[in-house]
Structure 1
């Protein structure tokens, strides 16, 4: 007989606000690490070094390393600046129902 897992609400009912905050913090870190990894892959595909990106952004190579390792919270302006430095652009697509608009 398989054990019943219940609903997601059942599974998370006993999570305290402190635990929820810690879970959310871990999730944000994982998202930042994934985004940093993707940015690094794009940079490498462009044949650029961290030093070159840093110079184009006006920051240190250490800052680029932090971004690529997920060591900093990535906001849209930082991602846009990074992408511009490697010859790209950040685009945002808003979708409501069947309508999509590039912002």
Structure 2
């Protein structure tokens, strides 16, 4: 059985379908990140209420973040991690060179 190339498989995807696929992908990434943040919070022994207070948001907002119901930008992730005693680090890699930003 010949499945062809990825280009063959995606050749008939319309721009509308591509937009929907990209939206679903973003939702899945947000859900995964939220789950990971919740796991870190629980491992540190913090409640959603404590994190919300430290971030200056509502407990409902923390719930949205952890369920993947909220878009996560780097400043929100950094604030969340700071609230549980962590930090967000970003590393840029070009070829063999890596720099922590």
How far off its partner does 1:40 sit? 0.2
Residue in structure 1 matching 2:73, options 72, 75, 94? 75
Give unpaired runs (5+ residues) of structure 1: none
CA–CA separation in structure 1 for the residues paired with 2:70 and 2:64? 6
CA–CA separation in structure 2 for the residues paired with 1:33 and 1:78? 15
Instruction: For residue 100 of structure 1, give the secondary structure of its aligned residue in structure 2.
Output: strand
Residue number in structure 2 paired with 1:54 = 52
Residue number in structure 1 paired with 2:19 = 21
TM-score by length of 2: 0.99
TM-score by length of 1: 0.97
CA–CA separation in structure 1 for the residues paired with 2:69 and 2:91? 26
Give unpaired runs (5+ residues) of structure 2: none
Instruction: For residue 34 of structure 1, give the secondary structure of its aligned residue in structure 2.
Output: helix
- List 4+ stretches of structure 1 deviating above 4 A: none
Q: CA RMSD in A?
A: 0.4
Residues 1-103 of structure 1 aligned to structure 2 (within 5 Å): 3-103=1-101
